[in-house]
Amino acid sequence: MFGFRRLALAALIPAAALSLGLSGALAQTPSPAPAASVSPSPAPSATPSPAASASPAPAATPAPAPSPAASASPSPATPPPAAAATPAPVQTADPFGQETMLEARKVLMVKGTANWDSAFDTLVDAFKSLNAVLDKQGIKHAGNSMIVYTSTDDTGFTFFAEVPIDQDPKNLPKDMSIGKSPEGKALKFVHRGSYDNMDNTYEAITNHLDDKKLEAKDTFIEEYLTDPLKTAEDKLVINVFVPLK
């Protein structure tokens, strides 16, 4: 699962020093006109009247009923086109290799070691321990939780879990300390989805650095925009920062 990720992190952070329708109407046939009625010829008079005709004038033929096709009603009109749907708003693409400046911030930090098979669980436990200390003393976060990688190898990695703070907590456990987060010029990338599926993100980062011929420093930072303690793992949003030399 983490095969490529190990290689990507190893490239950036060496183990020793972390080098990083309508249908138509049917036409009706008009009824045929009735035949003219024939009356028997009247008996001839002695003196035929000049106006008299040998046979009576045929009865007037009634006009046929107009067929629907010939009626004055217009044919079914084509329905007007539907109004154009309002286009969905365009989502701004996430930053990819965006240059940024990291500012050092006061953080409560704890150092940890993780193996690749249980990496996310280990990171979550580290954040839980930091939150427990802060919650007990009523100290709120002053920013998003972070992971700073310090070394990596085939089996796992070492890291610092950090939480920005504005005031110093007291009586810290021995494995915790107050320090500063990394600072300086860095490239910003964004990962959406689970921690286990970050391989594609790291592959893209490695390729970007190679294409741009850029050298990373000996740190590699993940900033959790969504709280990993409350967010489903496949819904995580993580800023990935690569400090540059």
- The pLDDT assigned to 81 comes to 57
- When pLDDT is averaged across residues 155-180 and rounded to a whole number, the result is 95
- The pLDDT assigned to 133 comes to 96
User: Which carries the bigger pLDDT value, residue 78 or residue 227?
Assistant: 227
- When pLDDT is averaged across residues 81-108 and rounded to a whole number, the result is 75
- Residue whose C-alpha is closest to residue 120's, from 243, 238, 241, 242: 238
CATH class for domain 3-15+94-243? alpha beta
- When pLDDT is averaged across residues 94-98 and rounded to a whole number, the result is 88
**How far is Cα 117 from Cα 114, in angstroms, rounded to an integer?**
8
Q: Is the pLDDT of residue 121 over 50?
A: yes
pLDDT above 90 as % of the chain: 54
Backbone torsions φ then ψ of 179, nearest 5 degrees: -150, -160
In whole numbers, what is the pLDDT of the chain averaged over residues?
A: 77
Least trusted range by pLDDT, from 3-17, 112-126, 147-161, 176-190: 3-17
Q: Is the pLDDT of residue 165 over 90?
A: yes
User: Which carries the bigger pLDDT value, residue 88 or residue 7?
Assistant: 7
CB count, 10 Å around CB of 219?
22
User: Which carries the bigger pLDDT value, residue 31 or residue 130?
Assistant: 130
Backbone torsions φ then ψ of 68, nearest 5 degrees: -55, -35
Q: Is the pLDDT of residue 158 over 50?
A: yes
Alpha helix segments (H runs only) across 168-245: 199-212
The SS3 of residue 210 is: helix
- Residue whose C-alpha is closest to residue 100's, from 223, 201, 218: 223
Q: What is the pTM of this model?
A: 0.66
**How far is Cα 45 from Cα 59, in angstroms, rounded to an integer?**
23
- The pLDDT assigned to 95 comes to 77
Angstrom CA distances, 169 to 71, 160, 224, stand at 92, 18, 22
pLDDT digits (tens, 9 = 90+) for 27-46: 444 444 444 444 444 444 44
DSSP 192: E
- The pLDDT assigned to 78 comes to 57
Q: Give the number of residues written for the chain.
A: 245
Q: Is the pLDDT of residue 4 over 80?
A: no
User: Which carries the bigger pLDDT value, residue 219 or residue 179?
Assistant: 179
DSSP 125: H
Q: Using N-to-C axis directions, what is the helix angle for 3-12 and 199-212, rounded to 10°?
A: 40
- The pLDDT assigned to 84 comes to 52
pLDDT digits (tens, 9 = 90+) for 181-226: 999 999 999 999 999 899 899 999 999 999 999 998 878 999 999 9
